[in-house]
Amino acid sequence: MKFSTREDIAAPIDYVFGQVSNFTAFERSAMRRGAEVLRMDTSGKIAPGLAWEVSFGFRGKPRDVRLELMEYEPEEKMCFEGKSSGLIGVGEVELLALSPKKTRMRVAIELKPQTLSARLLVQSLKLAKGNVDKKFQLRVADYASELGARYSMGKTA
C-alpha cells in the first residue's frame, strides 16, 4: 500500500532540508505524543545506518518499530525503512528547488505486510484509503505550511 503527496514550501531548499533532517526535533515531537524513542547512534553523525528504536500505541496495542536511515543525500533526498512485527514500511522525502526561495517536497510511504495479521491491518487501511490519504496529505500540507511560516519569521525549530 502506497501513500504519496507533494507540497510547495515558501523557503529555500537548504532551509527545508535542515528542518526535515532535524531528527532531534522529530524525536522530541514523538516523545511529546507518548512514544518512547531511543536513537541507536548517539554520535550525532547523520548518515545511512543511523537508527532508532520506537515504541508507541496504535489501535489499542503496543507497537515496536526499528527505523533506519537508508539513504541520505543532503538537500535532495532521505529514505527510511521501518520494521515492525510483520510489517515493513519504506518512507522517502525528496526535495526540489523550484526557485531560490521555493522548494517542492515529495513525501511517499509504502507499507509491505509480512504476516497474516499485518496483511489484515493493511487491508483495513486499504478499505479506508480515501480517508487515510486525506489525513496523510493534510499532515504533510500542515507541516509544509509550518516550515514556510517558520522561515518567513526567521525561526529554525
- Angstrom distance (rounded) from CA 50 to CA 52: 7
- pTM value is 0.87
- pLDDT tier at 155, thresholds 50, 70, 90: low
Bridge partners of 51?
Answer: 68
What was the pLDDT predicted at 156?
61
> Contact 8/144 with Cβ under 8 angstroms?
yes
- Taken in order 80, 118, 55, 135, the sign of the CA dihedral is positive
Write the CATH number for 7.
Answer: 3.30.530.20
- pLDDT tier at 152, thresholds 50, 70, 90: very high
The total domain count for the chain is 1
What was the pLDDT predicted at 119?
92
Nearest in space to 33 (alpha carbons), one of 15, 54, 2 = 54
What digits encode the pLDDT tens for the residues 64-121? 999 999 999 999 999 999 999 899 999 999 999 999 999 999 999 999 999 998 898 8
What was the pLDDT predicted at 4?
95
Question: For residue 132, what are the domain limits?
Answer: 2-155
- Angstrom distance (rounded) from CA 37 to CA 13: 28
